[in-house]
C-alpha cells in the first residue's frame, strides 16, 4: 500500500536568512511539487506562516523586507535600563526586555493581524518555548499574530508573550530546527532548512562573550536534535544548510534577493533526489 508521501518543510531559526525558504519554494513550484505541512521556528515562523497562507514568494519577500528593519530594535525601553540597574527598586520580571516592542507588534499586526491558523492552505505549526520550563510549545490554532510574535520573542531583547498562563519566548531555545514536529505530525519526507549561529571572532566585551556562549549552546542544541531526529525518522530528512558567501547581518533586508537565490541554489542540488523519493 503505497500511500502518497507527505512532504514537510521545516524552517529553522535564522532571522533574515530564513528568507532562503522562499528559494526552496520557488524550486518546488517550478518542479510542480506541493508541500503538505509547514513548520516554523523564530524567524522561520514569519516565512512558514506566509507560505502556508498561500502568498506568492515575490509578495512574501516584499512583505518581509518592510517588516524586518533596523528600527524594530532601535527604540530602547527606558524602564528596562532602570530595571537592569536597580532591580530591587524598579520592578523586574520575566517579561523584561531591553527594547520597546511597540514597533515590532505594530508591523506584525499589519502583516499577520487579519490571519489565523485555520485559514492556512497548508497545515502550519509554529514553535515557541515555555520560558519557565524550557519545553517546546507547538502553536497550531487561533490567530497567527500572537504565535509568530511568541516564536520570535528573543529573550532579553523582546518581552515574552503571555498565553494560557504560560510565558512564551523564542522557539530556538527549545529546538532551533524543530524537525520533531513534522515527524510527530506524520510527515514522510522532511525538508529542513537550518542555520548555524555565527561564532564571534573577537570576544572583546562581556556582551560579545555572552553572545558567543549562547551561539555555542544554540549550535550544539541544533546538532544534537538533528542527530536524534535523523535516527528517529522512518523516512528521509533532507537537510538544507545554505552557505552565504556574503556576510548577512540581522537586519540586512536589502540582501533578501541574494538570500533567496542561495536558497534556490541549495534546493536545486537536492531536487533530483527529492523527486526520486517522491516517485519511489
**What is the rounded distance in angstroms from the CA atom of residue 162 to the CA atom of residue 217?**
25
C-alpha cell at 263: 536558497
Q: Which is nearer to other proteins, 32 or 206 (CB)?
A: 206
Q: Which is nearer to other proteins, 44 or 176 (CB)?
A: 176
Q: Torsions phi, psi of 237, nearest 5?
A: -115, 115
Q: Torsions phi, psi of 41, nearest 5?
A: -130, 135
Q: How far is the CB of 173 from other proteins (least distance, A)?
A: 5
Is-catalytic flag, 100? Answer: no
Is-catalytic flag, 42? Answer: yes
Q: How far is the CB of 23 from other proteins (least distance, A)?
A: 27
Q: How far is the CB of 260 from other proteins (least distance, A)?
A: 28
Helix (H) or strand (E) holding 10: strand 7-11
**What is the rounded distance in angstroms from the CA atom of residue 219 to the CA atom of residue 86?**
33
Q: How far is CA 262 from CA 56, 83, 158, 174, 236, in A?
A: 18, 42, 29, 27, 23
Query: Site residues (CB under 8 A) for other proteins?
Result: 1, 3, 83-84, 87-88, 92-94, 96, 129, 131-134, 136, 155-156, 173-175, 180, 183-184, 186, 188, 199, 202-206, 209-210, 212-221, 224-225, 227-229, 231-235
**What is the rounded distance in angstroms from the CA atom of residue 161 to the CA atom of residue 158?**
9
Q: Which of 13, 42, 45, 97 is an active site residue? A: 42
Q: Which is nearer to other proteins, 24 or 153 (CB)?
A: 153
Q: How far is CA 60 from CA 8, 57, 105, 111, 144, in A?
A: 19, 5, 18, 10, 16
Residue 197, CA atoms < 13 Å, CB-side half-sphere = 21
Q: How far is the CB of 216 from other proteins (least distance, A)?
A: 4
Q: How far is the CB of 97 from other proteins (least distance, A)?
A: 10
Q: Is the dihedral of CA 274, 173, 254, 247 positive or negative?
A: negative
Instruction: Name the 3-class secondary structure at 153.
Output: coil
**What is the rounded distance in angstroms from the CA atom of residue 75 to the CA atom of residue 36?**
39
Q: Which of 36, 170, 175, 252 is an active site residue? A: 170
Q: How far is the CB of 199 from other proteins (least distance, A)?
A: 7
Q: Which is nearer to other proteins, 164 or 204 (CB)?
A: 204
Q: Which is nearer to other proteins, 55 or 195 (CB)?
A: 195
**What is the rounded distance in angstroms from the CA atom of residue 61 to the CA atom of residue 111?**
12
Q: Which is nearer to other proteins, 76 or 113 (CB)?
A: 76
By annotation, the residues acting in catalysis are: 42, 170
Amino acid at each position: 500500500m503505497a500511500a502518497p508521501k507527505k512532504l514537510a518543510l521545516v524552517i529553522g531559526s535564522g532571522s533574515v536568512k530564513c528568507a532562503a525558504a522562499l528559494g526552496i519554494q520557488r524550486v518546488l513550484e517550478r518542479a510542480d511539487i506541493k508541500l503538505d505541512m509547514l513548520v516554523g521556528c523564530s524567524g522561520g515562523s514569519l516565512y512558514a506562516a506566509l507560505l502556508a497562507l498561500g502568498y506568492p514568494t515575490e509578495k512574501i519577500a516584499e512583505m518581509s523586507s518592510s517588516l524586518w528593519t533596523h528600527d524594530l530594535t532601535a527604540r530602547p525601553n527606558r524602564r528596562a535600563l532602570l530595571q537592569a540597574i536597580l532591580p530591587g527598586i524598579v520592578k523586574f520580571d520575566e517579561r523584561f526586555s531591553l527594547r520597546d516592542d511597540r514597533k515590532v507588534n505594530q508591523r506584525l499586526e499589519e502583516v499577520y493581524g487579519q490571519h489565523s491558523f485555520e485559514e492556512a492552505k497548508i497545515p502550519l505549526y509554529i514553535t515557541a518555548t515555555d520560558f519557565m520550563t524550557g519545553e517546546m510549545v507547538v502553536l497550531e490554532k487561533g490567530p497567527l499574530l500572537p504565535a509568530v510574535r511568541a516564536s520570535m520573542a528573543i529573550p532579553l531583547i523582546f518581552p515574552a508573550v503571555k498565553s494560557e498562563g504560560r510565558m512564551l519566548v523564542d522557539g530556538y531555545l527549545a529546538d532551533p530546527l524543530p524537525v520533531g514536529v513534522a515527524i510527530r505530525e506524520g510527515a514522510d519526507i522532511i525538508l529542513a532548512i537550518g542555520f548555524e549561529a555565527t561564532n564571534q571572532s573577537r570576544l572583546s566585551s562581556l556582551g560579545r562573550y555572552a553572545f558567543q556562549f549562547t551561539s555555542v549552546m544554540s549550535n550544539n542544541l541544533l546538532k544534537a536534535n538533528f542527530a536524534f531526529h535523523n535516527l528517529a525518522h522512518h523516512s528521509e530528512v533532507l537537510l538544507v544548510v545554505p552557505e552565504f558567501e556574503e556576510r548577512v547581518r540581522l537586519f540586512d533586508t536589502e540582501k533578501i534577493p541574494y538570500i533567496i537565490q542561495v536558497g534556490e541554489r541549495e534546493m536545486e542540488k537536492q531536487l533530483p533526489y527529492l523527486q526520486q523519493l517522491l516517485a519511489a
